[in-house]
């Protein structure tokens, strides 16, 4: 087992937060460098899959997450005329299994409260470079920090440190992004489902129940609107009312959830990257989270992958005798899992976010039938839940976790489990 290390973590997103907790608990001296002067959640909400929930269970945080989050048992997508395109239910894998819609503010707070060493957080410090041989950091003002035995770059999909580890096989910005906001759930009839509506692949609306957060007891939905990143400014210039009328024409029930939106500033803009690295580590420097494997949010795996990275790196440092061996093991373990998601993310994204109308028509006609073929439903559900390992393998979940998840499950209404729209 590796002895106690002096560790620097660059970035205080989900990966950085989870790493700070796990490595501090193992007795390592941890310092975190965050570029934001006031660190906080970025984005509205997300769907925690069983893989991510299992990490929270291992960290002792599952009960708190379930207290604030909203159980999600089904993902359903349709066209404006009510034709089903996608219908996936976790019960097809295990009747005790479900996802958890959660506000980013809720998870950020739970992780921040769980790190007893938060005094080691350097706010407003942008790390510009890392010497992978000595473990010294240099910030944007030229100040030096360290040396550290290990430096973990968890600085997000637009990582500035990624190239200091290795060349990228792929590193590009997706042409399509999204507008996000949180809205009150109110009488939304699908409290246990992620619902989406598509106009070909040019327009996509999504509404995900994400529960509450500390300091706010109002149950909310995370609202998503897809559009090209090049259209962000034009969208604002066209005016909010024209956009709201467009949504009303596509999905009136979704439009009623947006009655509190009166200014464009209430919606956050999001863009995404696709990044595949030749190597995840070099010397004392290693990548984690989106810095290691950014991908489209189409499969909703970002937060889950970040949590799994943190646990895998913690385990590798526990089980190996040398840091270099631990980093090699971490890369090997996580790549086996991540690679299939890079593949499917790349090929599925144009089906839902593009101007390829013919491709969208093929999607609308084939996706549900393909999911009913022998083996097709199980494969799709494993991809969704994060439990696919390579092309044919399965990532086993621990029985104790499944039992804990089942014990906290909130029963859903008949409306939530019906096949109708």
Domains for the chain: give ranges and CATH numbers.
Answer: 1-39+123-172+275-353 (3.50.50.60), 42-106+175-271+356-421 (3.30.9.10)
Which three-class secondary structure state does DSSP give residue 368? helix
Average pLDDT of span 167-193: 94
pLDDT band at 417 (very low <50, low <70, confident <90, very high): very low
Q: Summarize pLDDT for 346-363 with one digit per residue, the tens.
A: 888 889 999 999 999 999
What pLDDT does 412 receive?
Answer: 46
Measure the CA–CA gap between 278 and 34, rounded to whole angstroms. Answer: 26
List the structure tokens of 335.
């790549």
* pLDDT recorded at residue 84: 93
**Confidence class for position 2, pLDDT limits 50, 70, 90:** confident
User: Once rounded to an integer, what is the mean pLDDT over residues 75-91?
Assistant: 93
Can you tell me the mean pLDDT for 216-229? 96
Backbone φ/ψ region at 89: left (φ over 0), alpha (ψ -120 to 50), beta: beta
pTM over 0.85: yes
Rg (CA), the chain: 21
Average pLDDT over residues 62-80: 96
Whole-number pLDDT of residue 410: 56
pLDDT at 328 over 80: yes
User: Band of the pLDDT at 392, cuts 50, 70, 90?
Assistant: confident
Instruction: Report the chain's mean pLDDT, rounded to a whole number.
Output: 92
pLDDT cut 90: percent of the chain above it: 83
SS (H, E, C) 338-400: HHHHHHHHHHHHHHHCCCCHHHHHHHHHHHHHHHCCCCHHHHHHHHHHCCEECCCEECCCCHH
pLDDT greater than 90 at residue 409: no
């Amino acid at each position: 087992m590796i002895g106690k290390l002096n560790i620097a973590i660059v970035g205080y997103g989900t990966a950085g937060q989870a790493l700070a907790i796990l490595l501090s608990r193992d007795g390592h001296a941890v310092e975190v460098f965050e570029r934001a002067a006031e660190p906080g959640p970025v984005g509205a909400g997300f769907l925690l899959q069983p893989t991510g929930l299992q990490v929270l269970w291992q960290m002792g945080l599952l009960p708190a997450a379930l207290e604030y989050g909203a159980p999600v048992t089904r993902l359903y997508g349709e066209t404006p005329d009510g034709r089903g395109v996608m219908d996936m239910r976790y019960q097809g894998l295990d009747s005790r299994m479900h996802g958890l819609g959660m506000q980013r503010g809720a998870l950020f707070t739970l992780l921040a409260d769980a790190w007893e060493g938060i005094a080691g957080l350097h706010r407003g410090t942008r790390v510009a470079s890392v010497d992978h041989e000595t473990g010294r950091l240099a910030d944007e003002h030229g100040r030096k920090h360290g040396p550290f035995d290990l430096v973990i770059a968890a600085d997000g999909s637009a990582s500035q440190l990624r190239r200091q580890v290795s060349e990228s096989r792929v590193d590009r910005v997706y042409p399509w992004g999204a507008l996000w906001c949180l809205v009150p759930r109110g009488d939304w009839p699908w409290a246990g489902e992620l619902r989406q509506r598509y106009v070909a692949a040019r327009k996509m609306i999504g509404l995900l129940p994400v529960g509450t957060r500390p300091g706010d007891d109002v149950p909310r939905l995370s609202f998503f609107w897809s559009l090209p990143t090049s259209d962000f400014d034009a969208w604002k210039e066209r005016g909010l009312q024209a956009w709201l009328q467009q949504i009303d024409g596509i999905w009136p029930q979704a439009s009623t959830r947006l009655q509190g939106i009166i200014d464009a500033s209430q919606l956050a803009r999001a863009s995404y990257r696709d990044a595949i690295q030749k190597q995840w580590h070099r010397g004392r420097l290693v990548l984690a989270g989106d810095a290691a494997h950014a991908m489209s949010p189409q499969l909703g795996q970002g937060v889950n992958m970040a949590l799994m990275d943190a646990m895998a790196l913690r385990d590798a440092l526990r089980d190996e005798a040398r840091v270099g061996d631990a980093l090699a093991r971490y890369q090997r373990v996580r790549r086996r899992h991540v690679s299939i998601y890079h593949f499917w993310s790349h090929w599925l994204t144009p089906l839902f976010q593009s101007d390829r109308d013919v491709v969208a028509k093929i999607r609308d006609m084939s996706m549900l039938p393909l999911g009913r073929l022998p083996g097709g439903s199980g494969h799709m559900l494993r991809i969704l839940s994060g439990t696919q390992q390579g092309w044919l393998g399965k990532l086993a979940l621990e029985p104790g976790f499944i039992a804990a998840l089942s014990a906290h499950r909130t029963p859903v209404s008949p409306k939530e489990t019906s096949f109708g729209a």
